[in-house]
């Protein structure tokens, strides 16, 4: 019966080529979750991805999913985390966004995870030692709220494995092998001759070598690649069609209700009917230079580690049928400080300084005056915000990360891994500056020499006492967790006194945008008068940040994206049920 309807419009003025219950735009975690939940709920679902790959920025991400009060925490005996998390978010957001959105997220997040684990082969484990990013606020946790995806065997996707987007090359080993954060930490102990790290390394490398006989990269997927791969597999198992390389040129609304799309596939234009709903999950606009220019603070970020496809087309599509953007908050983006380099093939590498170097002992970040401007160990979002704040008075963009030879060998710096014996190419390409004295380094990197000398001197005193009297580095569990636990008295403070000295420049880069489509707690896109545009939903980074552009902890983007994707579909299903009940009853 349903098939017979294809090709016939349910409305007077549209002739549909294809008919679905639910159409999802974008194949990141948010879009994949929406499509999967819709399929589980029995809806005829179509996923449209504008690029050739599944996963968007999600496939490049660390894959943490921040979901307070999750069932793993409860099983471990944690109680009352919903209230604690709400208190934390309240103190972070400070009333800037409707509280109902936060309450809904905290209530629905665990429900979404349980639902996926019960109804599909989506698997996580608790990320125990992952302190929230703003430890100074009430309700901040030491871990447990973020979950991490279990490793996923890409071979189970068969030929479709090639469809899964690649992680950032600089975050893989040997150009194609993935490791988790825990594995990376264990492998780094190889420099201390640990048997455990040797055996782990041998196991991972063997598997990788076998993989490379048949595949372009390792098939043991972890982090965000595992999440995207696994969700994709769940869709394939349910025969959900995915249209790649398909561009939606227009959304169709009838009587104010979003009910269809015009999609360009190859040379043809297809009119697609979406009977129950359209979900926008295009990942915001971090990759649009035009929108960055329009909305971002100055100096405008020129690079991003986010996926190239996230250019805000979905926001435009929604605005054309009445959707509105949220109000710009203090920030319109979520930030990484990144170093930039040209790859051998001429493309640009954007290396996000997430947790591996800034918090380690023996590094300072300085501005053009050679002065520190922040506790270097804060979260990447806060670090970059501090760059912008400091830049208002002293040029701080780019900022320079400065260390000595001991640090570089032990911890690495940006793209340079620990124990890298040959630095010539990094220096020749202009990525790494090197000098035999702090003064000479300052001149090479264009910062005030006297300022840098004083900064390094002060740092070396802090390293001895273990107290950073300027910025309090290493004073909280988040800082210390990313420091070096073996280093005393403060795991984040070490001397910079072993020449040669090195520096790498970092600039602000959006990992995603937080300015997006205004929605209610059901993920319905709102119009200028605050009323829902029926049939139209937004989630992931297409949804205006419900935490006002703040970054509570690792995994919050994916946690919010997946939760509001789930809520969108559930709302569409329940509205339909209610409509049917009324129709039958009436
Ligand atoms: C290195 C790195 C690490 C990160 N780690 C984490 C982490 O651990 N946890 C966390 O929460 N966040 C993390 N993030 C941020 C997170 O990855 C993103 O915020 C998140 O992936 C956004 O998810 P999304 O589903 O909204 O969009 P995306 O995952 O970006 O997917 C959007 C997709 O939509 C497609 N698209 C765009 N427009 C259209 C259109 N018109 N039609 C069809 N398709 C369209 C895009 O091509 C893309 O494939 C990280 C980011 C980076 C770069």
DSSP letters of 70-109?
-HHHHHTT---HHHHHHHHHHHHHTTSS-HHHHHHHHHHH
Return the residue whose CA atom lies nearest to atom 27 of ligand 1.
283
DSSP character for 542? G
pLDDT of residue 577 exceeding 80 = no
CA atoms of 351 and 337, how far apart (whole Å) = 8
**352 CA to middle of ligand 1, Å?**
15
- Average pLDDT in the chain: 94
- What is the predicted pLDDT for the residue at 10? 42
For range 549-562, the mean pLDDT: 97
Return the residue whose CA atom lies nearest to atom 10 of ligand 1.
555
- What is the predicted pLDDT for the residue at 502? 98
Determine the residue of 25, 248, 310, 514 to mutate for testing ligand 1's pocket, defined as the one with the most ligand atoms within 8 A of the Cβ atom: 310
Return the residue whose CA atom lies nearest to atom 50 of ligand 1.
61
**269 CA to middle of ligand 1, Å?**
26
Return the residue whose CA atom lies nearest to atom 49 of ligand 1.
56
Q: How confident is the model at residue 56 (pLDDT cuts 50, 70, 90)?
A: very high
**53 CA to middle of ligand 1, Å?**
12
CA atoms of 558 and 145, how far apart (whole Å) = 12
- Ligand 1 atom index nearest CA of 58: 21
Please say whether the beta carbons of 241 and 44 come within 8 A. no
**561 CA to middle of ligand 1, Å?**
9
Angle between the 556-585 and 99-119 helix axes, to the nearest 10 degrees?
90
Return the residue whose CA atom lies nearest to atom 38 of ligand 1.
282
CA atoms of 12 and 4, how far apart (whole Å) = 17
Determine the residue of 133, 557, 560 to mutate for testing ligand 1's pocket, defined as the one with the most ligand atoms within 8 A of the Cβ atom: 557
**544 CA to middle of ligand 1, Å?**
14
| 173: its two tokens | 């080993």
CA atoms of 190 and 417, how far apart (whole Å) = 13
| 577: its two tokens | 């049920």
Torsion of CA 21, 23, 29, 33, to 10 degrees: 0
Residues 218-231 as b or e (16 or more Cβ within 10 Å = b) = bbbbbbbbbbbbbb
Distances 369 to 163, 365, 440, 493 between C-alpha atoms, Å: 47, 11, 15, 21
pLDDT of residue 342 exceeding 60 = yes
Determine the residue of 35, 49, 54, 61 to mutate for testing ligand 1's pocket, defined as the one with the most ligand atoms within 8 A of the Cβ atom: 61
Helix extents (H) in 148-239: 181-188, 195-214, 223-237
Long-range Cβ contacts of 202-208 (<8 Å, 24+ apart): 204/177, 204/179, 205/174, 205/177, 208/173, 208/174, 208/176, 208/177
- What is the predicted pLDDT for the residue at 361? 98
Return the residue whose CA atom lies nearest to atom 9 of ligand 1.
555
CA atoms of 150 and 65, how far apart (whole Å) = 12
For range 35-64, the mean pLDDT: 98
- What is the predicted pLDDT for the residue at 394? 98
> Could you count the other beta carbons within 10 Å of the beta carbon of residue 254?
15
**26 CA to middle of ligand 1, Å?**
9
**Helix, strand, coil share of the chain (percent; to 5):** 40, 20, 40
| pLDDT over 70, % of the chain | 95
Q: How confident is the model at residue 339 (pLDDT cuts 50, 70, 90)?
A: very high
**29 CA to middle of ligand 1, Å?**
7
Q: Whole-model pTM above 0.75?
A: yes
pLDDT of residue 201 exceeding 60 = yes
End-to-end CA distance of the chain: 24
For range 123-128, the mean pLDDT: 94
Return the residue whose CA atom lies nearest to atom 1 of ligand 1.
61
CA atoms of 455 and 475, how far apart (whole Å) = 19
DSSP-derived secondary structure for 427-479: HHTTS-EEESSHHHHHHHHTS-HHHHHHHHHHHHHHHHHT--TTT-TT-SHHH
- What is the predicted pLDDT for the residue at 52? 98
- What is the predicted pLDDT for the residue at 181? 83
Burial of 562 (0-12, 13-18, 19+ CB in 10 A): buried
**192 CA to middle of ligand 1, Å?**
37
**66 CA to middle of ligand 1, Å?**
15
CA atoms of 53 and 166, how far apart (whole Å) = 9
77 contact partners, CB below 8 Å, separation of at least 6: none
Return the residue whose CA atom lies nearest to atom 46 of ligand 1.
309
Q: With H, G, I as helix, E, B as strand and everything else as coil, classify residue 120.
A: coil
- Ligand 1 atom index nearest CA of 224: 8
Determine the residue of 26, 47, 51, 516 to mutate for testing ligand 1's pocket, defined as the one with the most ligand atoms within 8 A of the Cβ atom: 26
Please say whether the beta carbons of 33 and 231 come within 8 A. yes
**285 CA to middle of ligand 1, Å?**
10
- Ligand 1 atom index nearest CA of 25: 43
Return the residue whose CA atom lies nearest to atom 51 of ligand 1.
61
322: left (phi over 0), alpha (psi -120 to 50) or beta: left
Q: How confident is the model at residue 578 (pLDDT cuts 50, 70, 90)?
A: low
**275 CA to middle of ligand 1, Å?**
26
Q: How confident is the model at residue 12 (pLDDT cuts 50, 70, 90)?
A: very low
- Ligand 1 atom index nearest CA of 32: 25
| 380: its two tokens | 């990447």
**58 CA to middle of ligand 1, Å?**
4
DSSP-derived secondary structure for 353-373: --SSSTTSSSEEEE-TTS-B-
Residues 545-554 have pLDDT tens digits of 999 999 999 9
CA atoms of 445 and 431, how far apart (whole Å) = 11
Return the residue whose CA atom lies nearest to atom 48 of ligand 1.
56
Return the residue whose CA atom lies nearest to atom 17 of ligand 1.
58
- What is the predicted pLDDT for the residue at 581? 56
Q: With H, G, I as helix, E, B as strand and everything else as coil, classify residue 68.
A: coil
User: What totals of helices (H) and strands (E) does the chain contain, helices first?
Assistant: 17, 19
Residues touching ligand 1 (Cβ under 6 Å) are: 25-31, 48-51, 56-58, 60-64, 168, 224, 248, 281-283, 305-307, 309-310, 313-314, 352, 511-512, 540-541, 554-558, 561
pLDDT of residue 295 exceeding 80 = yes
pLDDT of residue 561 exceeding 90 = yes
CA atoms of 187 and 13, how far apart (whole Å) = 62
- Ligand 1 atom index nearest CA of 59: 29
**332 CA to middle of ligand 1, Å?**
16
Determine the residue of 170, 283, 301, 311 to mutate for testing ligand 1's pocket, defined as the one with the most ligand atoms within 8 A of the Cβ atom: 283
Q: Which residues, in sequence order, are bridge partners of residue 242?
A: 47
CA atoms of 154 and 173, how far apart (whole Å) = 17
């Amino acid at each position: 019966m349903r098939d017979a309807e294809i090709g016939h419009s349910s409305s007077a003025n549209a002739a549909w080529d294809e008919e679905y219950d639910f159409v999802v735009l974008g194949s990141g975690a948010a879009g994949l979750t929406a499509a999967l939940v819709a399929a589980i709920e029995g809806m005829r679902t179509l996923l449209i991805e504008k690029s050739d790959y599944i996963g968007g920025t999600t496939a490049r991400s660390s894959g943490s999913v921040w979901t307070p009060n999750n069932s793993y925490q409860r099983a471990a005996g944690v109680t009352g985390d919903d209230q604690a998390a709400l208190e934390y978010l309240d103190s972070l957001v400070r009333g800037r966004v409707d509280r109902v959105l936060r309450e809904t997220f905290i209530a629905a997040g665990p429900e979404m995870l349980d639902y996926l684990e019960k109804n599909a082969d989506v698997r996580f484990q608790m990320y125990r030692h992952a302190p929230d990013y703003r430890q100074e606020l009430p309700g901040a946790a030491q871990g447990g709220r973020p979950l991490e995806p279990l490793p996923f065997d890409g071979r189970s996707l068969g030929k479709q494995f090639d469809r899964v987007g690649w992680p950032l090359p600089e975050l893989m080993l040997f150009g194609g092998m993935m490791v988790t954060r825990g594995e990376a930490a264990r492998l780094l102990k190889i420099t201390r001759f640990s048997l455990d790290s040797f055996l782990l390394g041998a196991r991972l490398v063997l598997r990788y070598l076998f993989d490379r006989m048949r595949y372009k990269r390792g098939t043991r997927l972890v982090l965000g690649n595992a999440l995207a791969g696994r969700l994709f597999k769940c869709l394939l198992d349910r025969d959900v069609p995915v249209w790649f390389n398909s561009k939606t040129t227009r959304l169709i609304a009838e009587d104010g209700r979003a009910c269809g799309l015009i999609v360009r596939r190859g040379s043809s234009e297809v009119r697609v009917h979406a009977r129950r709903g359209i979900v926008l999950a295009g990942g915001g606009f971090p990759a649009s230079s035009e929108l960055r220019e329009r909305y971002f603070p100055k100096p405008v970020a020129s690079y991003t580690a986010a996926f190239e496809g996230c250019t805000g087309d979905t926001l435009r599509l929604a605005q054309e049928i009445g959707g509105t953007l949220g109000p710009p908050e203090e920030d319109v983006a979520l930030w990484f400080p990144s170093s930039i380099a040209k790859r051998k093939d001429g493309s640009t590498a954007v290396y996000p300084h997430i947790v591996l170097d800034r918090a380690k002992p023996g590094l300072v970040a300085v501005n053009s005056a050679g002065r520190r401007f922040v506790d270097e160990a804060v979260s990447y979002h806060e670090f970059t915000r501090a760059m912008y704040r400091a830049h208002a008075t002293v040029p701080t963009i780019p900022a320079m990360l400065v260390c000595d030879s001991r640090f570089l060998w032990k911890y690495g710096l940006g793209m340079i891994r620990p124990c890298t014996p040959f630095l010539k190419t990094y220096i020749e390409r202009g990525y790494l500056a090197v000098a035999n004295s702090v003064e000479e380094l300052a001149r090479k990197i264009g910062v005030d020499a006297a300022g840098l000398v004083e900064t390094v001197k002060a740092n070396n005193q802090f390293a001895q006492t273990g107290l950073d009297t300027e910025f309090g580095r290493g004073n909280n569990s988040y800082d210390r967790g990313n420091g070096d636990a073996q280093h005393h008295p403060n795991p984040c403070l070490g001397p910079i006194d072993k020449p040669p000295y090195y520096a790498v420049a970092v600039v602000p880069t959006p990992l995603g945008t937080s300015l997006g489509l205004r929605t209610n707690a059901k993920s319905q896109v709102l119009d200028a008068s605050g009323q829902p545009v029926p049939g139209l939903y937004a989630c992931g980074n297409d949804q205006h940040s419900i935490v006002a552009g703040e970054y509570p902890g690792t995994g919050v983007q994916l946690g919010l994206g997946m939760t509001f994707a789930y809520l969108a579909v559930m709302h569409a299903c329940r509205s339909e049920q209610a409509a049917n009940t009324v129709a039958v009853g009436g």
